[in-house]
Amino acid sequence: MIKHIVMWKLKDEAEGKDRLANAREMKRRLDACAGIVPGMLAFEVTLAQPGLEATYDVVLYSEFEDKAALDAYAVHPTHKAVVPFIGAVREARQCMDYEV
């Protein structure tokens, strides 16, 4: 199994909206990617929550049966459609894939 974790820090303002509005929109768009490929075992998008420590604004936690499933997700049209928006609103990105 491959775990795929991505964290994004968003710009204070981008695409005519503030950080929180863009985080909510990003979550909405990413949530549409849940279950889009066979072999996707888990897919969770969450936003930083008031009162809890967070150095990033949006986190994606996902699990894939194998690297082939992760690769299929990466090139799926639904996922590819989210990428330009994320690129426009993000300030920084961290990612880690690992096998368990």
**pLDDT tens digits, one per residue of 50-93:** 999 999 999 999 999 999 999 999 999 999 999 999 999 999 99
Paired tokens of 38: 């066979």
**pLDDT tens digits, one per residue of 9-25:** 999 999 999 999 999 99
CATH number for the domain spanning 14: value is: 3.30.70.100
Which runs of E-coded beta strand occur in 1-100? 2-10, 13-14, 17-18, 40-47, 58-64, 90-99
Domain of 34 in residue numbering reads as 2-99
What's the number of domains the chain is made of? Answer: 1
Q: Are 15 and 22 in contact (CB under 8 A)?
A: yes
Gap between the Cα atoms of 64 and 42, Å rounded = 7
Task: Provide the pLDDT for residue 24.
Answer: 98
Q: Is the dihedral of CA 32, 80, 26, 97 positive or negative?
A: positive
